[in-house]
Amino acid sequence: MPTRDHAPVRVLAVDDDPRFCELLADTLVGFSVATVTNEADALARVQAFDFDVVLTDLNLGGPGGIALCQRIAERDHELPVIVITAFGSIDTAVAAMRAGAYDFVTKPVELDALRFTIQRAAATRALRREVRVLRERVAEQGATGIIGESVPTRRMLERITKVAASEAPVLLRGESGAGKELVARAIHQQSSRAAGPWVAVNVAALPPSLVEAELFGHARGAFTGATERRQGLILRAQGGTLLLDEIGELPLDLQPKLLRALEERVIRAVGDDHDVPFDARIIAATNRDLEAQVEAGAFREDLFFRLSVLDLEVPPLRARGRDILLLAQHFLQRFAQTAGKDVRTIAPDLAQRLLDYPWPGNVRELRNAIERAVTLSDGVALQLQDVPERIRSYARSDVLVVSHNPSELVTLDVVEQRYILRVLEAVGENKTLAAKVLGLGRKTLYRKLERYGAIARGERRPEARTTQPDDDADDDESA
């Protein structure tokens, strides 16, 4: 779960019983806990310091914890408040939630559960902040039309700059919907040809019988219906750039003609008897494995090498980390403006789901999901129920990958490692709680985590018991 630069979560505990405040400060190991005993001091502390979570008793003297929730929400709606009370009823829970409380727990407090709730609240705080910051950053991004700050995106942008300085053909590789056309346009815009025409064609969208005429043009009378001479796309890109998207779909019998055009810089229109020189840079894009097509005889090897003088991999959206939220905010602002709706942000639970979802349709799928969400939204924030069901109901299942390919199957040790690390993440890195969920002793869990490299070998481990040889018998020992 994300927290502020991996620093301890900062908690402000508010209770009119100083002894309970001291108990919380002593038992919430791993958190940075400050305590106050009244609402006025709590509001002063919240204004002066950057807390991640507020933990308050519902029955404070004076206006009480519900009033404190309301006042904190008015000052900082991103700061989550967890309410504690000895009077756990539906009415008080509803009142606290309506006042802006993040969660509601009852006394006597189960400490492991409280720690987990605080971790979740801190993660929500981090996501709320991130979404706000993203709204501010989106306007600063996009000189190339490419939104993102992740390492894969930065590397791609650096590669674009280098590739744009050349005149050589470029082959863009990447999954469908990853943004290959946007990358191609960025190369054009940063090149010396930026003032020239930009022409893009999806080869797969052209009827096979018309591909040659569309690319190379045709003379009058070249075929039935050719009543006048027509310039092809290659010549229309004269002085600029031509993108041949889905180049893997180019008919095999036309590939020699394209190869000759690239090598000799001339083309011949269908039905013509003379060559015409052209000056356009060619960028090809594909979501196919062209090397495999070459081996299968479906794509010419010499054309493949000619097109891939320079190549650039466009990363899938799932590899771009928190760029997902930047892009989502970008699309939100665009579609909200188009629809004339006052939608400004993304709810934290939806933001987390957007980060978890694998996006098989990449940026295109994200754009469509946000457009749908803006259309259905009734408030200022997009909610989880606004996105399609496949995203709404998605649950991470990265512990075990089921495959019919023997090379992709993994050992039981690998499955165990994935599951242990996933549980540890789910409980906010609380090793005691993780051990209980897993049914392991804490010494056993620490030993496994050391083997996985998930903790440093110098980190304090539970001490061994001389009277108990069973390594798994310490489950009930407190942290």
**pLDDT digits over 186-211, tens only?**
999 999 999 999 999 999 999 888 89
Burial of 342 (0-12, 13-18, 19+ CB in 10 A): exposed
> Within the chain, what is the greatest distance between any pair of CA atoms?
98
CA atoms within 13 A on the CB side of 250: 27
The region of weakest confidence among 191-200, 253-262, 351-360, 407-416 is 407-416
Query: What per-residue confidence (pLDDT) applies to 218?
Result: 79
CB 69 within 8 A of CB 56: yes
pLDDT given at position 376: 93
* pLDDT above 90 (res 370): yes
The reported pTM is: 0.62
Bridge partners, 381 (sequence order):
345
> What's the mean pLDDT in 83-106?
73
- Produce one character per residue of 141-159: b if its CB has 16 or more CB atoms within 10 Å, e if not: beebebbbebebbeebbeb
Name the one residue in this structure whose structure tokens are 């490419």: 146
Report the CATH fold assignment for 151-313.
Rossmann fold (3.40.50)
108: preceding bond cis by omega (within 30 degrees): yes
Region 397-479: CATH code: 1.10.10.60
Tell me which residue of 317, 297, 299 sits closest to 308, measured CA to CA.
299
pLDDT at 364 over 60: yes
Q: Which two tokens stand for residue 425?
A: 């993440």
**Is 247 a residue whose pLDDT tops 90?**
yes
Residue 314: its pLDDT value, please? Answer: 93
Same fold, 151-313 and 320-383: no
Instruction: Tell me how far apart the alpha carbons of residues 409 and 86 are, in angstroms, rounded to a whole number.
Output: 51
Q: What pLDDT does 26 receive?
A: 87
Handedness of CA 362, 368, 372, 377 (dihedral sign): positive
Mean pLDDT of the chain: 82
- pLDDT given at position 88: 56
Two structure tokens written together for 372: 């749908």
Query: Which range (4-8, 50-54, 109-113, 473-477) has the least confidence?
Result: 473-477
Residue % of the chain over a pLDDT of 70: 81
Paired strand residues for 244: 201, 284
Identify whether the C-beta of residue 236 lies closer than 8 Å to the C-beta of residue 278: no
Q: Which structure tokens are listed for 173?
A: 């590789």
Question: Closest by alpha carbon to 243, among 188, 204, 313?
Answer: 188
pLDDT recorded at residue 470: 38
Task: For domain 320-383, give the CATH number.
Answer: 1.10.8.60
Any idea where the domains of the chain sit in the sequence?
Answer: 4-138, 151-313, 320-383, 397-479
Stretch 239-258: mean pLDDT, rounded? 95
Does the domain formed by 4-138 have CATH 3.40.50.11310?
A: no
Query: So what's the pLDDT on residue 441?
Result: 84
> What sign for the dihedral angle of Cα 313, 317, 323, 329?
positive
| pLDDT for res 446 | 83
Which pLDDT score, from 0 to 100, does residue 111 have? 82
Q: What is the predicted pLDDT for the residue at 474?
A: 37
For 373-432, the pLDDT digits (tens) are: 999 999 899 999 999 999 998 876 555 555 555 555 666 777 787 788 877 776 667 777
> C-alpha 158: how far from its chain's center?
20
- What is the number of other CB atoms lying within 10 angstroms of the CB of residue 292? 11
pLDDT band for position 438 (50/70/90)?
confident
How far apart are alpha carbons 346 and 134 in whole angstroms?
Answer: 10
Please tell me the predicted confidence (pLDDT) of residue 107.
75
Name, in order, each residue with C-beta under 8 angstroms of 91's C-beta and a sequence gap of 6 or more.
none
d(CA 110, CA 106): 9
Structure tokens at 12: 């402000």
